[in-house]
Chains A and B, each alone.
Chain A
């Protein structure tokens, strides 16, 4: 069943082909619809454009990101990245980092409704949101970098740890790359709810509204609170930006393995 149909989202406010923005009342819903929704520079640019729309709409009280079909996102577009020059790699990683940080610190509450597989970069995208829901039965949430000889950037660690909690759930998910369907993710504290497929978006909308209430969060207050709570992520992110050349070289070497 189409995720859009499940919440009667018919007319996009902005349609960029592979991703579109809808509104369900005052909640923005970004729906990715490009098969595996792999991440490259086009992906980050389009998502960025839609986030600009959402942020500019002051009556908007929350943001959900989700996708159609079998994948939320299968991570980085490694095939495409193979064709990128060193400079293009650098540009991509800067944009991806900026996107993750922007979502992390977004001035309205955010929810990733994980409709299918969320692997590696896709899992990171999901974890940058305030809330997560996942289909209880199909599709895995998985930080599988360890299996594909990829490394996390330094700022990813405090990001994942603050969201997941340190302890066995964190170490299993990150160092061992365990994969979880919705009911397991719920058990491990990775998500907030695991509805059935047809109820994923409706229940996500309900969940988000149960947090924001009628009047929503004062944007400035939420923005400052997130900046405080995720202060160590911000600090590490700044350091990572300073060392981006080294990081890009490491990534490109790993791609050649």
Chain B
């Protein structure tokens, strides 16, 4: 049994296969257990987003924790699924993914990514949208390995990662060299706030979150405004890129068939 003690006692609402959520006191917890790797595809984004809608609609909720079960927090994008879709779907998916990351980045509640295992590429990008990161001290790496997989940095994502990590080795090693960090290293480089063995990770994460919230928690509208200001650089890039019909990032994942489809139809279809 790999669940932590608190999560083990929780009553989960299974809203969809692979994604469940629950409330622990006033804290919403989303648990990803979609296959082993919690790969991200359109279905994942849809289901996750509707859970976020529910949480946003629940006025008593004061914080959000996301986590995975077992070996992975998330191993990133579902490239297998992407390779079977039309090029148009893949391009749309990247827009959806970017929208999702922006929503998480600016979420009107304090957010904590409880990194139970590996967080690679898209999974790490998701973890970085949260306000707080905690990690399993015993297992798992956090890693933005896009450069090693021949993928360019999406400017919006690179910017919010930079704001979260700050300039310096944590940032340059992560993005330029695709460095992977254990919990101990991530703590040393201020990539995470807290590292704990799996059995106590949930409890420590919740305690930390509650100490930040205090008695009254954050007023949602104020927090949302602050996030929009602090992450303005990233938001501006997101807005700028959104209005341009950019398929650049999606193109890197295209199969031959998808490339051919794109050549025939042209960029907008």
Contacts and interface: CB of A to CB of B under 8 A. Distances in A.
Contacts, number: 69
Given A221-B150, A225-B152, A228-B153, A192 B169 contact: yes
B168 A164 contact: yes
Nearest to A163: B172
B168 A226 contact: no
Given A221-B150, A228-B152, A229-B153, A166 B176 contact: no
Given A165-B171, A189-B169, A225-B175, 12 more contacts: A130-B172, A130-B177, A165-B170, A166-B168, A189-B168, A211-B177, A217-B147, A222-B147, A225-B176, A228-B153, A228-B158, A229-B172
16 contacts: A130-B176, A162-B171, A163-B169, A164-B167, A164-B168, A165-B171, A166-B167, A167-B166, A211-B179, A217-B147, A218-B147, A221-B148, A221-B149, A225-B176, A228-B152, A228-B158
A164 B150 CA distance: 26
A161 interface: yes
Interface of B: 146-153, 155, 158, 166-172, 175-179
A247 B69 CA distance: 58
Interface residues on A, range: 20 to 34
B265 to A, nearest CB: 26
Nearest to A192: B169
Contact of B177 (A109, A163, A165, A169): A109
Given A109-B177, A130-B177, A217-B147, A225 B168 contact: no
Given A130-B177, A222-B176, A228-B155, A163 B168 contact: yes
A224 interface: yes
A164 B167 CA distance: 7
A136 to B, nearest CB: 18
Interface of A: 109, 130-131, 161-167, 169-170, 189, 192, 211, 213, 217-218, 220-222, 224-226, 228-229
Contacts of A167: 166
Contacts of B152: 221, 224-225, 228
B148 A217 contact: yes
A12 to B, nearest CB: 28
* Majority secondary structure, B binding face: helix
A76 to B, nearest CB: 25
A225 B167 contact: no
Q: Interface residues of A: mostly helix, strand, loop or mixed?
A: helix
Contacts of A131: 177
A162 B177 contact: no
A221 B147 CA distance: 6
A51 B92 CA distance: 42
A187 to B, nearest CB: 11
A161 B178 CA distance: 20
A189 B189 CA distance: 9
Contacts of A162: 167-168, 171-172
A225 B172 contact: no
A217 B176 CA distance: 10
A101 to B, nearest CB: 15
B169 A229 contact: no
A226 B176 contact: yes
* Chain B CB within 10 Å, residue with most, of A166, A170, A189, A229: A229
Nearest to A220: B150
B182 to A, nearest CB: 13
Contacts of A164: 167-168
